[in-house]
Amino acid sequence: MLEIDRYKTSLNEVFSEERKFELQLLVEKELAEANFQLGKIPKEANDVIQERCTTKFVKLERVKEIEKEVHHDVMSLVFAIAEQCGDYGEYIHLGATSYDIQDTVRGLQLKESKQQILEALQQTIEFSKELTSKYKDLACIGRTHGIHAIPTTYGMKFGNFLNELLLAKETLEQVKVDFGKISGAVGTYASYGTQEIENIVLNKLKLSNQPVTTQVITRVVHAKYIQALSLIASVLEHFAKEIRNLHRTEIDEVRESFDEKQVGSSTMAQKRNPEKSERICGLARVIRSYIQPSLENISLEHERDLSNSSTERVILSQTSILTHYIILQMNKILTSLHLNKEKIRSNLYLREGAQCAENLMIKLTDKIGRQKAHDLLKNLANEDNFTEAVKQNDIISSHFNDEEIERILDPMNYLGLSKEIVQKLLDSL
């Protein structure tokens, strides 16, 4: 078993050898039907092809046997179909170049892949929406540079990721992948003498065409698709990385679920690792790495060379499958995520009022000026108990009494417009 088999989803079937074979036969059948409709092959030939160009008669094993001899995957397919059609086998693949079949099959695969990925991603959005709503008022400490900043809410945290997921989904939705081509060796339709054959085939398969092709559809299409998946992967990594960091023993605000029989370490029995989040972060790197070859596949020589073929056999399927996989992993995380409210509150009050120094600085600005207030509070922030240090400071205590200071430095009184921001986002969905 290959290591990559560890990350299977339903998209493995879409990109499987068997499914590709079925789709190749389908395209060859539709090509024959279109040729028949335009009077290019006789009815009896088309009848035989429509009956025999199926997996009932044409076997993948036979195609592989032929390929060992001819070293050409599509011609192996053509020969295998022709064997089953007798004298009418001469009408198989009439006018077509290999990538009339391959690019059309790819369009069918990518169309299905995109649909399944969007469906899974919509679930992620729904789960994130639920968490955003559920925890919209749960105050916590915000962190910048890994250091305590000012208070925020878990509604803001989840809301931020919800917004990023919506943007990433929109990007994939706008990428059109359902293209096919039946335009011949260099895209001129010379072998067909008409564009109508392409219209018939693609309409039947519910695919679109590009206005101009060479021997292949422009690889800009594939590059845009992979970039959209990489954007989704990066958003998921951002989400997963936050979960991982909040999962740290010292922070302990968020935890992935941990099944009764689950093992965190082969030697350290106490370990409960954020293993799903770590897996998402790792696989996101692999997904992004396929952007480079997808861009290089655009600049093929003249009307096409073969340098794109080998990479596409890897990058299109693996980018799709891995993106789908990490979306499903994130969905598992979100549906069982545990928030440690006690530790969230403890961390929020950890700095003894220093987390609201900005609020006090703003209040002091009218009294002593912003910069003087900033310098004063910067020095007091070094004290173990910031609130007590502030109360004992003669300058500050001359303007605010102890009760006012405690109110100003209470994190619950310095959440800004967080509730309104989150509610507005939720109301927009």
Examine the pLDDT at 265 and tell me if it is beyond 70. no
Locate 70 and state its tokens: 């001819």
Amino acid 6: pLDDT: 87
Q: Reply yes or no on whether 145 is catalytic.
A: yes
Same domain? 85 vs 157:
no
In total, how many domains does the chain have?
A: 3
337 and 188 co-located in one domain: yes
Q: Is there a domain that residue 424 lies in? A: no
**Cα(140)–Cα(163) distance, integer angstroms:** 20
pLDDT for the residue numbered 258: 64
Residue 425 inside a domain? The answer is no
Average pLDDT over residues 131-158: 97
What would the pLDDT profile of 46-100 be if each residue is shown by its tens digit?
999 999 999 999 999 999 999 999 999 999 999 999 999 999 999 999 999 999 9
Quick one: 82 and 104 in the same domain? no
Question: What is the distance between the alpha carbons of residues 252 and 224, in angstroms, rounded to a whole number?
Answer: 39
Q: Do residues 136 and 230 both lie within one domain?
A: yes
Same domain, 287 and 145: yes
pLDDT of 375 over the 90 cut: yes
**What pLDDT score does 264 carry?**
66
Domain housing 175: 98-346
Tokens for 382? 């070094």
For 80, 97, 201, 307, 393, the CA distances from 74, given in Å and listed in that order, are 10, 9, 18, 17, 83
CA pair distance 394, 301, nearest whole angstrom: 77
**pLDDT value at position 1?**
44
Is residue 126 domain-shared with residue 178, that is, in the same domain?
yes
Q: How many CB atoms lie within 10 A of CB 336?
A: 13
Catalytic residue among 145, 266, 398, 428: 145
Q: Is 302 a catalytic residue?
A: no
Contacts 24+ apart (CB under 8 A), 376-379: none
Distance CA(34)–CA(27), nearest Å, equals: 10
Given 10, 16, 257, 265, the catalytic residue: 265
The pLDDT tens digits of the residues spanning 273-323 come to 889 999 999 999 999 999 999 999 999 999 999 999 999 999 999 999 999
| 418 within a domain of the structure (yes/no) | no
Q: Does residue 390 belong to any structural domain of this protein?
A: yes
Cα-only R_g, the chain: 30
Considering the chain, what percentage of its residues have pLDDT values greater than 70? 96
Residues 193 and 265 in one domain: yes
429 lies in some domain: no
Question: Is 172 within the bounds of a domain?
Answer: yes
Structure tokens at 23: 């789709």
Handedness of CA 243, 249, 251, 257 (dihedral sign): positive
Same domain, 299 and 362: no
Question: What does pLDDT average to over the chain?
Answer: 95
- Is a pLDDT exceeding 50 seen at residue 424? yes
CA distance 110 to 297: 17
The answer to whether position 233 is within a domain reads yes
136 shares a domain with 79:
no
**CB 253 within 8 Å of CB 345:** no
Same domain, 107 and 226: yes
Question: Does 274 lie in the same domain as 327?
Answer: yes
Domain shared by 263 and 132, yes or no: yes
Any domain includes 149: yes
Q: Is 239 helix (H, G, I), strand (E, B) or coil?
A: helix
